[in-house]
Amino acid sequence: MTTGLRNIKAIIYKELYSYFVSPVAYVFMVIFLILTGFFTFMLGGFFPRNEASLASFFLWHPWLFMFLVPSVGMRMWSEEQRSGTLELLFTLPITPWQTIWGKYFSGCIFLTICLGMTFPMVLTVNYLGDPDQGVIICGYIGSLLVAFTFLAISCLTSSLTRNQVISFILSLVTCLILILAGWPPITDMFTQWAPVWLVELVAAFSIIPHFEGIQRGVLDSRDIIYYVSLIIFALFATNVVLHSRRVR
């Protein structure tokens, strides 16, 4: 194992330990599971649909992640800046990219664990009927991609400020913009004064069409490229911000 991979692995262990050593991680898990069940059964109409499907389960995930994922990522760099350990981190024999990937991967692992705890939903729908397993798998893949994208955005906003509340708000607003970009009322508003190409450009930034495509069981390479591009851009921008702080 190279030095870089060892450094990333060490950061992942450190960050995961910091997640589970405090009650914040467990509170997040409980809130996520409660809200997931509420939206699925109360608002999503799981039983009235009368079909062996998890469509009502995955439908609300972008909105849940919009609020919950920023609460996970807001402390990534804000806490380092507030406590003054960011300067210490820069003096260690570790590159900013290694630190960024370590922190990001630890957040991805934590979110994957949280989403994996919803597996009883899969057991329930299989008990009640004969669902398409491929669609369910694609639904989980789409949900993880949305969560990982929002986490990368939270990583960027966290590097911009030492205040966790400001980081949370910036991340929340950015995620909301990505959700609403392709919403018909928004596109209709642009249609009244903007050219068609601009409307299509704004709609192309929305995560919902890409999420819905995967949720239907279609793993289109364009959807995967969309999410990966957003993640890489957000992490690259994080590196630029940290590099500028390191130079100063």
Q: How many helices (H) and strands (E) does the chain have?
A: 14, 0
* Spatial distance between the Cα atoms of 40 and 35, rounded to a whole number of angstroms: 8
Question: What are 30's two structure tokens?
Answer: 């409980």
Question: What are 31's two structure tokens?
Answer: 């809130």
pLDDT, one tens digit per residue, over 98-131 is: 888 989 999 999 999 999 998 888 888 888 778 8
Whole domain around residue 159: which residue ranges? 3-247
- Which of 118, 11, 18 is CA-nearest to residue 72? 18
* Spatial distance between the Cα atoms of 183 and 137, rounded to a whole number of angstroms: 26
- Which of 128, 125, 79, 73 is CA-nearest to residue 104? 73
- Residue 210 above 60 pLDDT? yes
pLDDT at 154: 93
- Percentage of the chain beyond pLDDT 70 is 88
Q: Which amino acid is at 114?
A: C
pLDDT, one tens digit per residue, over 153-166 is: 999 999 888 888 89
Residues with Cβ within 8 Å of residue 24, at least 6 apart in sequence? none
| Structure letter (DSSP) for residue 98 | H
Lowest mean pLDDT among 163-172, 198-207, 227-236: 198-207
State how many domains the chain has. 1
CB atoms within 10 A of CB 103: 25
Q: What pTM did the predictor assign? A: 0.90
